[in-house]
Amino acid sequence: MTSYYKPISGSPANAYKPLASLNPPPAKFPYVDGRASASTSPYSRPAPLPGKGGNLLGLYFARRSYHYPEPAPEQPTELLLHPLVALHSQPLINYDLAFTPKTNLAIPKSFPMSELYQPATQPATAYLRIISESLLWPIEINNVSGAPISVVQIFESIYAELQPALIHTEWAMATKMHQEHMSEAYARRCDALSNPKAERAEGVKRVDWLGKMTAFVGLVRDDGESVRWLGAGAPELGRTLALRLALRQ
């Protein structure tokens, strides 16, 4: 059977240079309205993992994020999303957040590789905040150079933000059942890597908080979820996207 996806591993050596240096051709696929709605599939409101405690922990950590760089002032234009990152009933991207996108990201064969280096949004922006009801931490992408955030940078940033080890207070916030889920996810992830011993030495990571919910489904503009994280009137609301996840296969 012919695979629907093509991996990006083995792509040209310049694949991970900054977007501005690649000078990619114009995008060949239309950007889509990323607003949350009932038509955007059953992934529009995933249940938090056991021990998440609703949105309270997310709100707690989001409001502690004052140390992040302030985004450059931008016009409150509604963002359209590149189809490779937007939420669809059938995800276009095949990616497990537990592993680096440099070797584990696959896109539909109908999309040329150059689409990965297109701006992730229209209008293009150098700042985005990504939130998830399944995570404690917001994911900030802030290109201080002003270069537009690309599609592939979305995946690289999510991966990088989930790599730090959990601290003791974060581990203690989870229920015993959730801690067991994290321990299982940690063991699976380490065993799947080329050097399990070295990976185990780094301990349980933020990505393990998700358990098996590490399959990327898409990004969506969910104003209600953004307000719960940031509060009404927050300047980042117009540049905040919600991450939707599913159980990995």
Read off the pLDDT of each residue in 152-168 and give the average, rounded to a whole number.
97
Residue-level pLDDT at 239 = 86
Cβ atoms 43, 244 nearer than 8 A: yes
Structural domain contains residue 187: no
Residue-level pLDDT at 124 = 95
Residue-level pLDDT at 4 = 56
Comparison of pLDDT for 104 and 46, the residue scoring more: 104
Structural domain contains residue 16: no
Residue-level pLDDT at 12 = 34
pLDDT of residue 146 exceeding 50, the answer is yes
Structural domain contains residue 188: no
Structural domain contains residue 229: yes
The residues near 248 (Cβ < 8 Å, ≥ 6 apart) are 96, 98, 212, 213, 214, 215
Structural domain contains residue 77: yes
Structural domain contains residue 222: yes
Q: Which helix (H) or strand (E) holds 241?
A: strand 240-246
Structural domain contains residue 150: yes
pLDDT confidence tier of residue 237, bands split at 50, 70 and 90: low
Structural domain contains residue 154: yes
Domain count, the chain: 1
Its pTM surpasses 0.85 = no
The neighbour count for residue 114, using CB atoms within 10 Å, is 13
Residue-level pLDDT at 73 = 44
pLDDT confidence tier of residue 55, bands split at 50, 70 and 90: very low
Return d(Cα 242, Cα 131) in angstroms, integer. Answer: 5
Domain encompassing residue 42: 31-163+212-246
Task: Look over the chain and give the mean of its residue pLDDT values, rounded to a whole number.
Answer: 77
Return d(Cα 143, Cα 124) in angstroms, integer. Answer: 12
pLDDT of residue 199 exceeding 50, the answer is yes
Residue-level pLDDT at 171 = 96
